[in-house]
Amino acid sequence: MTSFEPKSLSTSKLHGYLLSAVAPRPIAFASTIDTDGNPNLSPFSFFNVFSANPPIMIFSPARRVRDNTTKHTLENVEVTKEVVINVVNYDMVHQMSLSSTEYPEGINEFDKSGLTMLKSDIVKPFRVAEAPVQFECKVNDIIKLGTEGGAGNLIICEVVKLHIDEDVLDENGVINQQKLDLVARAGGSYYTRAKKGFFEIPKPLSTLGIGVDNFPEHVKNSMVLTGNDLGMLANIEALPTEESVKSFVEDLGERYSNIKTATHRQKHKLARNYLSFGDVESAWKILLS
């Protein structure tokens, strides 16, 4: 067995070991607002529930390892003392992943990820309409665990109202775990789906994905593409050029003779097929043809 003392490892190396070994971890999809009312949305896997009476949840936005800066979520709850914790199911996992992109301050991750802002009843931050369970919370305390990069900040939240999608409840009003279909975080790019085990999602681009808000309207409002499809499509640095789309369609025409006359719906279905294999670039070229 290989053994280490934490201080003998770099913070990033230790961070990787901890996250890979302590897994899977539930995801707190935290919605906050700043003092000007600008929404922010970000996922955190240092998270769990710790009490039922009072109902307490704790999540921890850690200081960034690379430059020891703090995240917008922490900065927001420090001044507003409110947060909505949304759970993440499989149907929205790619959009959730996209929202972890470090967009500049003031950028609305709801818009970038294509998720819907839903007004809360008690607190000011918005709920994620697509989340099957949403917890409106007041922040009771924030415990700083250190001042160096990688240090956590325990945000102790008291649930003041919870919302549960009736579709995930059984006839007795109990949450059906199969219907809820939660996902959890593991090490690296791995997640786990409660029903089917591990899968991978490529990390959001460090150069910033274009976001759903920059999609053509027929793609953004597609009746075929799912939330996960939109999340995958949004994690690209730039749309394909007209020339590359034209060349791709000409080559594709040998296999799909009617591609040039296909309807949006037909193209969207074909694009979904490419997305199922992780081929985002080809999917975009079909959508833009």
What pLDDT score was predicted for residue 254? 59
pLDDT higher than threshold 90 for residue 171: yes
On the question of pLDDT at 260 being above 70, the answer is: no
Q: Is the pLDDT of residue 251 over 80?
A: no
- Give the pLDDT score at 256: 59
| The pLDDT of residue 137 is above 80 | yes
pLDDT average, residue stretch 77-104: 94
Say if residue 261's pLDDT is above 90: no
Q: Which of 144-153, 175-184, 247-256 has the lowest mean pLDDT?
A: 247-256
pLDDT for 39: 96
Both structure tokens of 13:
């190396």
Looking at the whole model, is its pTM more than 0.85? no
pLDDT for residue 1: 92
Q: CA quadruple 71, 76, 77, 78: dihedral positive or negative? A: positive
Q: What is the DSSP string of 9-76?
A: S-HHHHHHHHHHHS--B--EEEEEE-TT--EEEEEESSEEEEEETTEEEEE--PPPTTT-PPPHHHHH
CA distances from 289 to 97, 158, 270 (A): 27, 50, 12
- Flag whether pLDDT at 252 surpasses 80: no
- Tell me the pLDDT of the chain averaged across its residues: 91
